[in-house]
Amino acid sequence: MGQTQSEEEEEEVEMRQIQTLYTAFMRKCPSGALHLHEFRNLFGVQSASEEESVYMETIFKSFDTNKDNIIDFMEFVAAVHLVLRGRLEDKLKWSFKVYDRDENGKLDRHEMEHIIRIIYKIKRHHTVELKPNEICDRIFELLDQNKDGQISLAEFMEGAQKDNWIMDLLKLDVNASRWFKQHWKDI
């Protein structure tokens, strides 16, 4: 018939969280627009290396769905939802979008290696002993099922879910989940 009490409470919690997020967003971005330099500041990336700058710009562009070089509140809410509550499938689709620089729906070695190199340089001390080109070779060996030199979204999704090493590597970890939880009220 109607909603149960727990469903109503869940909606109220969601609404309160959105209101809190909106207040915080408007405090940081009174214009209602989050620009790349503000995005970097939110994540504490002011004097970043070239690799970190490129990585943050890539992440920023992935959330800027209408390609107007700003993240508005709705885009911000979608990003927060993906990071905090998104399903694995959604996170992998988002990761694929970040890797797919030319937006043709396929990943070639150049696109894959580009992001791998950035991640490798940022997380140098956490990375396995493989070099970026070796990591890329292994990814293509495991994911490119039809051996056409490109990875489709379907190959990406299926392969990532079959191999934990691939999953950990392909699922972009911007550490945003922990950041949002720590800074929820003072964005």
Same domain flag for 75 and 122: no
Q: Which pairing describes strands 71-72 and 150-152: parallel, antiparallel, or unpaired?
A: unpaired
Position 47 scores a pLDDT of: 59
What proportions of the chain, in percent to the nearest 5, are helix, strand and coil? 65, 5, 30
Tokens of 102: 């030319």
pLDDT at 115: 84
**Are both 94 and 117 inside the same structural domain?**
yes
- The total domain count for the chain is 2
* Residue 71 backbone phi and psi in degrees, to 5: -110, 115
Shared domain check, 125 and 95: yes
Mean of the per-residue pLDDT values of the chain: 79
Model confidence pLDDT, tens digit, residues 47-82: 567 777 888 888 899 899 999 999 999 998 888 888
Which of 15-29, 66-80, 89-103, 167-181 shows the lowest mean pLDDT across its residues? Answer: 167-181
Write out the H or E segment, with its range, that includes residue 99: helix 88-99
Confidence of residue 140 (pLDDT cuts 50, 70, 90): very high
Q: Which domain holds residue 18?
A: 5-48+57-86+175-186
- Give me the mean pLDDT over the 35-56 stretch: 76
**Shared-domain flag, residues 79 and 136:** no
Asked whether residue 24 falls in the same domain as residue 44, the answer is yes
pLDDT on residue 150? 96
Whether residues 179 and 165 fall in one domain: no
Beta bridge pairs of residue 71: 34
Angstrom distances, CA of residue 183 to CA of 85, 102, 186: 16, 33, 5
Going from the C-alpha of 18 to that of each of 21, 25, 63, 129, the distances in angstroms are 5, 10, 18, 42
Confidence (pLDDT) at 144: 94
pLDDT of 143 over the 80 cut: yes
Domain co-membership, 72 together with 95: no
Interval 74-122: pLDDT, tens: 998 888 888 777 788 888 888 898 889 888 999 999 999 888 888 777 6
